[in-house]
Chains A and B, each alone.
Chain A
Amino acid sequence: MAPLERRGSALSGKGGNQQDVQIRVLACSVGLVIALAPLASFADETPGSHLQAELDNAAAQYALAQQQVDELQAQANLSAQNERTIALLKSEEFRVHQLDVSANGMAIQQIGQALANAIRQQGEVSARNELAIAQIKASALVVRADSNLANALARPRHRDQELAGAVKFPAPPG
């Protein structure tokens, strides 16, 4: 306080110094009242009302927690149902693919079987055709041999020699 007193006396003399001190005392008092105001409110609150407020707060928090639990349960149910649905859709996709693959394999097998049957029938037809061609060739050879034999029998000269040559089958043409 000494420097302030000295400054006050330097500015406005002894009367000004006392006025500054009063203003400071007033400011300190106002500050003290403002700072201690919460204590007054605490003092107004009785212990019973505070405990009742705590009880009400706890009950409200419990109700809120129960509501939160219900919301979590609903969300979990939805999530579980979502997981099951996704799994079911994926499973259905795999099963459809399984059916496609199996049906494709069976179809290829049936096609292969039909192709094998067709090839066998074609081989049968080819064999019969080749047999018919061979029979035609054989009959032509027989006819030729018969004609040669008849020609040889019709000739008077060198009968034995020609007979001997006629019975020999000539070489097939080509």
Chain B
Amino acid sequence: MTSAKLNAADRAGDANSHGIVEAANGSAMGANDLFAADFVLQAGQLAATSSTISVSAKQAGIISHAAASLKNAQAMAANSTKLPPGA
């Protein structure tokens, strides 16, 4: 092989390997982006679930307090009907 061909093959190999490295780097960065995308999706789902759970606890507190008040009033009313008149 002549010197010109050797030199050209050397330079062509450099260019080709540079392209391969760039493609591999792009694929790696793309995989990183995909991982970040999945992570963000899961974080959003987790935040939504957390919001629902937090509100559920608050709802339970409010409704249980109101139900207890209602039961108390009902019990007091029922107790007053059992008492003899004038008691």
Contact = CB atoms under 8 A, between A and B. Distances in A.
Nearest to A81: B48
Given A58-B73, A62-B70, A91-B41, A108 B23 contact: yes
Contacts of A98: 29-31, 33-34, 37
Interface string A67-93: 011001101110111011011101110
A124 B8 CA distance: 8
A127 B2 contact: yes
Report, nearest first, the 6 A-B pairs whose CB atoms are least far apart.
A105-B26, A123-B8, A87-B44, A112-B19, A65-B66, A80-B48
Contacts of A126: 4-5, 8
29 contacts: A55-B70, A55-B74, A58-B70, A59-B73, A61-B66, A65-B63, A65-B66, A80-B52, A83-B47, A84-B45, A87-B40, A87-B43, A90-B37, A92-B37, A97-B33, A98-B31, A102-B26, A102-B30, A104-B26, A108-B22, A109-B20, A112-B18, A113-B15, A115-B19, A119-B8, A119-B12, A124-B5, A130-B2, A131-B2
Interface residues of A, number: 61
B20 to A, nearest CB: 6
